[in-house]
Amino acid sequence: MMDSETETNEISREPRELNLVTWYGTIAGICLVIICGSVFITRAYLKNHHLNQENWRPGKLYRLEEDLQAINRDGKEVSLGELRGKVYVVGYQYTDCPGGCLGMASVMKELLEIHGDNPQFHLVSISVNPKGDTPEKMNAWVKDKGVDSPKWWFLTGDEERLRKYASRFIKFSMPERNTDPAMIATQGEWMHDQRLVLVDGEANVRGFYGVMHSEGGETALKLLKRDLDMVLHPSKKLKDYPEIVFPEPVIPVKIK
φ, ψ of residue 114 to 5 degrees: the values are -80, -45
Task: Name the residue ranges covered by the structural domains of the chain.
Answer: 21-49, 65-234
Q: For residues 96 and 214, what is the distance between their CA atoms, to the nearest angstrom?
A: 21
Instruction: Read off the amino acid at residue 231.
Output: V
Q: What per-residue confidence (pLDDT) applies to 53? A: 57
By the 8 A CB rule, do 156 and 162 touch? Answer: yes
Q: What per-residue confidence (pLDDT) applies to 223? A: 97
Strands 152-155 and 204-209: unpaired
Q: For residues 87 and 66, what is the distance between their CA atoms, to the nearest angstrom?
A: 17
Q: What per-residue confidence (pLDDT) applies to 214? A: 81
Q: Output 227-231 pairs: Cβ under 8 A, ≥24 positions apart.
A: 227/58, 227/198, 228/87, 228/89, 228/111, 228/115, 228/198, 229/115, 230/57, 230/58, 231/57, 231/58, 231/87, 231/198, 231/200, 231/206
Segment 90-148, tens digit of pLDDT: 999 999 988 788 999 999 999 999 999 999 999 999 999 999 999 999 999 999 988 99
**What's the predicted TM-score (pTM) here?**
0.77
Q: What per-residue confidence (pLDDT) applies to 186? A: 76
Blockwise average pLDDT, block size 10, the chain, 256 residues: 50 56 70 69 51 76 96 97 97 89 94 97 97 96 92 97 96 89 80 94 97 90 97 94 79 56
Domain 65-234 is found in CATH 3.40.50.300: no
